Amino acid sequence: MLKIGDKKTNSIMRLVEKHLKEFGHINKKEAVELYGCYNLGAVIYDLKKEGLEIETNSIKGKRFCEYVLVVKPVEIVEEPKEYFAIVGIYKSTSGAISVHFGQTLFESEKEADAFGQIAKENDPEMISYDVTPMIRLVKEK
């Protein structure tokens, strides 16, 4: 296991994660040549702990393996439906402004607005919110 708090380790992990998401696979030779990563097994272990689903495949005739990112198929909804979500604007105690997109989808604009009002009343860092329409195209599994 790598030292997660280590800045260099985290940047190598992010590079390997990006590589997996972009190309779908990586092996030790690529990791060393591209990112200077000499302990790919530990990086893969930590990425798995973070929730990435990665398979290990042996390469016939080689002394190393290839790590492959498992991509789950998504099911497209036949008839897209409109939903509403909350977009909150926050100001931290340090004065930094940030925008957060809510993860909950509401079936009506009125329901989303009511939730936004409650959230604003109960969160001192929330300075404003907006209700935005969305269309869900992918069915959750």
Tens of pLDDT, residue by residue over 84-130, are 888 888 887 788 888 887 778 888 999 999 988 988 898 888 899 89
Q: For residue range 63-83, list pLDDT tens digits in order.
A: 778 999 998 776 766 677 788
- pTM summary value: 0.49
Q: Does pLDDT of 58 surpass 60?
A: yes
- pLDDT at residue 95 in the model: 80
Query: Domain locations in the chain?
Result: 7-69, 75-139
Q: For residue range 10-46, list pLDDT tens digits in order.
A: 789 999 999 999 999 999 999 999 999 999 999 999 9
Confidence category of residue 8, pLDDT binned at 50, 70, 90: low
Give the integer Cα–Cα distance in Å for 65 and 56.
7
CATH number for the segment(s) 7-69:
1.10.10.10
Residues ≥6 apart with Cβ < 8 Å to 30: 19
* Cα 91 → chain centroid: 23
Contact yes or no for 84/112 (Cβ under 8 A): yes
Question: Left (φ > 0), alpha (ψ -120 to 50) or beta: where does 103 sit?
Answer: alpha
